[in-house]
Amino acid sequence: MTVRVRFAPSPTGPLHIGGVRTAIYNYLFAKKHGGTFILRIEDTDQTRYVPGAEAYIIEALEWLGLYTDEGPSRGGEYGPYRQSERKDMYAQYAQQLVDSGWAYFAFDSSEELAALRLEAEAAKGKFVYNHTSRGALNNSLTLSEEEVSARLASGAPYVIRFKMPNESLHFNDIVRADMTVDTGLLDDKILMKGDGMPTYHLANIVDDHLMEITHVIRGEEWLPSLPLHLLLYRAFGWTAPLFAHLPLILKPVGKGKLSKRDGDKLGFPVFPLEWTDPSTQQVSAGYREDGYFQEAVLNMLAMLGWNEGNDRELYHLDELITAFSLERVSKSGAKFDPQKTRWFNCEYLRQKTTEELVKAFTKVLATKGIETTRPAMVTTIVETLKERATFVEDLWTEGSFYFEAPTEYNAKAAKKQWKEQTPVLMEELCTVLQEAPDFSPEPLSTVVKAWIVAKEVGFGKVMQPLRLSLVGASKGPDIFDIACMLGRDESILRIRNAIATLSN
């Protein structure tokens, strides 16, 4: 068997990270088995189509390194890969099911069905359109062939429904093992609407068959549809693919499906890329724009619901391909942890080379309007601050003082460290710095510390105000490394600015 899998999203908006994880598992499975990874856009419901959504889906997959082998932008011999471009073929398959007795025309109006539902609710029951009721309803099973033909010829509204059998259906899911469903409790799903458009169920099965899909790997929200889909394969006389239904990604609290509202409330994205709603212009955050590395997002999502059976957590894409198996996917939902996602990003930042981080940090500086003529300085800053950062942007947060002199000073630090005698000490320190023969970290440290000892003042009375003067807060690496990076003139200028500002 040549493995062929598909990721089949609907272009109704941005791609949720639950959908991204489904794409990841499909991709990993295909590549591990030397198979084909297909993107199919399921856009039969044109009322929910959102402009730009398809392009967003493709861009998101490619940002993560999940390049498709076949799809709308790649082509392939099994296309077209948009269902809207395949719609003319579905009617013949619906008619085939009618002709074989597996489906029928139903002419019931929405008002008639609503009345039946209300009647059932009044009797504390539930109306189901299936073997218990279809024999008394307005369909081709109860009407004569002549009347059915007349109604179809007149353009009377209708749908085509699947004739659900009444049996115990046994089947296997790769993730959830053996299952049994009483199909007599299920309703006769609509396969084709009167406007000639198929429902998801028919189009999905026909396309999977024609595209020779061998494994359907999808979210557990589709598990209730599996009996119908298996029966459709039986009705057509086709061999069904193997199915694997993935667990939900749960809210950080552990209950309920992760939603955009959770992300908005707790301050993390639920979409891979930033998305602007074309109708409202509302902007939703994306992992890429929030500074996450694609490797970190890929790794994090792969681990949500799957593990190799050990304590390992960090994998690059090729390692995931080698290690992945559907049998190791969990049956239970995976709780999303925003802090763990940050941890993944931190780990991948530390794996980056200095050259990679310098390039990324230089782009951050450019957004701040800063063009440095000292590349060695940027390299040193990256090497100094790398261990303190989770995102590349953190290098700016932690090291902006290298590029911009402080105009404000941390109030708490100033109150604690800037005393009445501090301005005099800082002015004397300026003289020491001016006369220092070697303005590099170690010699400078020796000179300043010798002066402090000679003055018989505590080191904290000089070193802490010095840090506050150069940085604006009680943070940063070794203070003499900072002074060396700033240079003699800039360091003295900053100390005197602090004297002028804090002494008032």
Return the active site residues: 260
Rounded Cα distance between 430 and 426, Å, is 6
Which element (helix H / strand E) includes 350? helix 338-351
Residue type, 4: R
Rounded Cα distance between 92 and 456, Å, is 97
Q: Are the beta carbons of 61 and 70 closer than 8 angstroms?
A: no
- What totals of helices (H) and strands (E) does the chain contain, helices first? 20, 13
Alpha helices in 100-198 (DSSP H): 110-122, 145-154
Q: Are the beta carbons of 196 and 91 closer than 8 angstroms?
A: yes
Rounded Cα distance between 136 and 123, Å, is 18
Rounded Cα distance between 449 and 440, Å, is 14
Q: What is the phi/psi pair of residue 429, to 5°?
A: -60, -40
249 CB-near residues (< 8 Å, 6+ apart): 17, 18, 21, 257, 258, 304, 305, 333, 334, 336
Tokens coding 196: 């000639």
Rounded Cα distance between 429 and 422, Å, is 10
Alpha helices in 352-421 (DSSP H): 354-367, 375-385, 392-399, 411-417
Tokens 């792969």 identify what position? 302
Tokens 């604690």 identify what position? 416
Rounded Cα distance between 45 and 84, Å, is 9
199 CB-near residues (< 8 Å, 6+ apart): 44, 189, 190, 191, 192, 193
Displacement of CA 300 from its chain's centroid (Å): 10
Displacement of CA 364 from its chain's centroid (Å): 23
